[in-house]
Amino acid sequence: MRVLITGAAGLVGTELCRTAPTGTALHGTVRSRPAPSGVTAHAVDVSDVDAVAALLGSVAPDVVVHTAYDKADHEVTVAGARAVAEACATSGAWLVHFSTDALFDGEAAPYTEADRPSPVHAYGRAKAEAERIVRATCPDATVIRTSLVVRADGTDPTSSWVVAALRAGERVALFTDEVRTPVLVEDLATMTWAVVGLGRGAGSGVWHLAGPERLSRAEIGRGLARRLGLDASLVDAVPSPRDGEPRPRDVSLAIGRAADLGVHARPIGSVAAHGQGIG
């Protein structure tokens, strides 16, 4: 199986590369960071339609796993999804597109795979539009909606600043009223490969791959502190700001189809700091 992973040097992309099934020929797109070991790297702007089409024509992947996006540039997120989807439609590659819980409004959780996106902020609207383009362009694509993705050792972008502050003995303020279903990247990668293993058809459509716990950001932070042997009392639970762009309150995901995968995400508090993915 030949697989192309966009954003191969990112949090999810790196773990997908590390845990790819034996015998997989891995290719990945990169920007500023190098690709993981064993991956044939391609410095390609995924929002460039011509460049992406040429890449797929050259690599001829069986599967394209699209993890790349730019949270700071919503147009890149949408344009990248469009370029990758159009290239997959032309080449015949099976597209596995990563989406997010942030495309829901937070007023009707837990959300199922059948629930329609209802974004309330710019990032959510960009991801909802990206998902719409993918499903319209590649009707048999797989769309994986996931939640807050963390690494067991706390080195992911969401957790690292919290860990650094706690290790320095500093207090951190985390929200009590924003609820997610966080998932360890190690488990997310394992579940993703399980979906890919089902093959095109059985693996197509929308999947919710997230953790089993509905947790606030404050609860996540305190759990992280305990897991790493840090002082959880330094985490202050505060309400989210009410000014500025709206923030969804509860975007927890219901695990529907994934219940029958045979592999499941673990509670993030139950995993040791250097725990490996589920088997």
CA distance linking residue 258 with residue 276, whole number of Å: 20
* Residue 58: count of CB within 10 angstroms of its CB: 10
Give, in order, the Cα–Cα distances in Å from 63 to each of 23, 27, 83, 204: 14, 10, 15, 12
Residue % of the chain over a pLDDT of 70 = 97
Type and span of the H or E element at 173: strand 172-175
* Residue 115: count of CB within 10 angstroms of its CB: 17
Specify whether the CB–CB gap between 258 and 214 falls below 8 A. no
From-to residues of CATH 3.40.50.720 in the chain: 2-148+183-208
Question: Over 60: is that where the pLDDT of 276 sits?
Answer: no
Omega before residue 61 within 30° of 0, cis: no
CA distance linking residue 250 with residue 66, whole number of Å: 26
* pLDDT value, residue 268: 86
CA distance linking residue 219 with residue 226, whole number of Å: 11
Question: Over 50: is that where the pLDDT of 205 sits?
Answer: yes
Q: What angle do CA 228, 272, 256 make, to 5 degrees?
A: 115
* pLDDT value, residue 272: 57
Question: Over 70: is that where the pLDDT of 96 sits?
Answer: yes
Q: How confident is the model at residue 71 (pLDDT cuts 50, 70, 90)?
A: confident
* Residue 107: count of CB within 10 angstroms of its CB: 11
Q: Closest Cα to residue 150, out of 121, 120, 189?
A: 189
Q: What is the pTM of this model?
A: 0.94
Q: What is the mean pLDDT of residues 172-193?
A: 96
CA distance linking residue 270 with residue 10, whole number of Å: 25
Q: Closest Cα to residue 2, out of 58, 45, 53?
A: 58
pLDDT tens column, 213-226: 999 999 999 999 99
Specify whether the CB–CB gap between 229 and 168 falls below 8 A. no
Q: CATH for 2-148+183-208, among 2.40.50.180, 3.40.50.300, 3.40.50.720, 1.10.10.10?
A: 3.40.50.720
Q: CATH for 152-181+212-270, among 3.40.1350, 3.10.20, 1.20.120, 3.90.25?
A: 3.90.25
Q: How confident is the model at residue 278 (pLDDT cuts 50, 70, 90)?
A: low
